[in-house]
């Protein structure tokens, strides 16, 4: 029994509670983002860089969660870095290099929609990397993340988890929706058939890369409402904890009456 089996996928939220918590969380996140970027008080004092890694099953709601994170933030103050299969040129280099340019500096904020964890997930399961290479990647990734954290970067990693049954329902709904059918490919269906192998890969990834400096947050995503709130509130908590550990003072939350966010 692994960590995924311990998650309670029955968790739900009413729409009214979701909306209320997203609104409150959005105000706080917007305030924190301005503080990290030195724009809240006009001081220009930069806080830690913030790197958010979004991983999870296909159709687990990563895109919807990202939308809720960025909704209250000025689009000039956040970068979304999305990754598909590496190009021929990228394959000529060490796999971590394709992500380097998106790593945030002081006061920066990047959301990685898929990430370097592809090496120990899809590349492992689909045989796109030799066993020696994907096994070596655990230490390479842990070392890179510890190095970034030592330089001040706050790293927040999410795994969005849904059951195989819920994934099938979402796949089928997407196929019936002409505006979403493009999201479903033959590769998605092939990957779904290998779910046991992917579960094994995810569980080992969690064991080997759940670091004190960059812990995994497992999100029960069977309910999209619950998952969106959980991601947003967990992100706020990690920012506050990370800034406290680095001695970067943050302002008290702004009252809803004081903000139009």
CB 231 within 8 A of CB 173: no
260 in any annotated domain: no
Return all residues near 246 (Cβ < 8 A) that are at least 6 apart.
47, 48, 152, 154
Return all residues near 174 (Cβ < 8 A) that are at least 6 apart.
59, 180, 181, 183, 184
- Residue 252's pLDDT is what? 95
12 in any annotated domain: yes
Separation CA 224–CA 245 (nearest Å): 31
CATH number of the domain where residue 168 is located: 3.40.50.300
Query: 177: closest CA among 59, 20, 16?
Result: 59
- Residue 112's pLDDT is what? 98
pTM for this prediction: 0.94
198 in any annotated domain: yes
261 in any annotated domain: no
259 in any annotated domain: no
213 in any annotated domain: yes
Q: What separation in angstroms does the CA of 22 have from each of 10, 59, 103, 239, 255?
A: 20, 21, 27, 16, 14
Residues linked to residue 56 through DSSP beta bridges, in sequence order: 160
Query: 117: closest CA among 65, 55, 195, 196?
Result: 55
Give residue-wise pLDDT tens across range 84-113. Answer: 999 999 999 999 999 999 999 999 999 999
108 in any annotated domain: yes
- Residue 255's pLDDT is what? 76
258 in any annotated domain: no
Separation CA 177–CA 158 (nearest Å): 27
Q: How far apart are the first and last CA of the chain?
A: 43
Residue 104 belongs to domain spanning: 4-253
- Residue 261's pLDDT is what? 44
Number of domains forming the structure of the chain: 1
Taking 70 as the pLDDT cut, the residues of the chain under it are 256-261
């Amino acid at each position: 029994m692994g960590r995924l089996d311990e998650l309670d996928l029955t968790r739900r939220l009413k729409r009214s509670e979701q909306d209320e918590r997203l609104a409150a969380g959005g105000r706080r996140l917007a305030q924190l983002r301005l503080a990290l970027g030195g724009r809240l008080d006009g001081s220009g004092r930069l806080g830690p860089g913030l790197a958010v890694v979004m991983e999870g099953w296909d159709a687990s709601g990563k895109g919807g969660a990202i939308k809720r994170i960025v909704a209250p933030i000025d689009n000039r103050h956040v970068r979304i870095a999305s990754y598909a299969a590496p190009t021929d040129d990228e394959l000529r280099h060490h796999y971590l290099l394709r992500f380097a340019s998106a790593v945030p500096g002081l006061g920066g904020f990047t959301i990685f929609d898929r990430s370097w964890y592809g090496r120990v997930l899809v590349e492992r399961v689909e045989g796109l990397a030799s066993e020696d290479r994907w096994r070596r990647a655990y230490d390479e990734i842990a070392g890179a993340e510890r190095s970034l954290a030592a330089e001040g970067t706050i790293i927040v990693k999410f795994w969005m988890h849904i059951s195989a049954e819920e994934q099938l329902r979402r796949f089928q709904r997407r196929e019936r929706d002409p505006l979403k059918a493009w999201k479903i490919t033959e590769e998605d269906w092939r990957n779904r058939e290998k779910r046991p192998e992917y579960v094994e890969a995810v569980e080992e990834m969690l064991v080997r890369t759940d670091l004190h400096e960059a812990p995994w947050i497992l999100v029960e995503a069977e309910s999209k409402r619950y998952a969106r709130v959980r991601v947003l509130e967990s992100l706020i908590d990690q920012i506050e904890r990370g800034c406290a550990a680095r001695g970067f003072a943050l302002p008290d939350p702004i009252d809803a009456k004081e903000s139009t966010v």
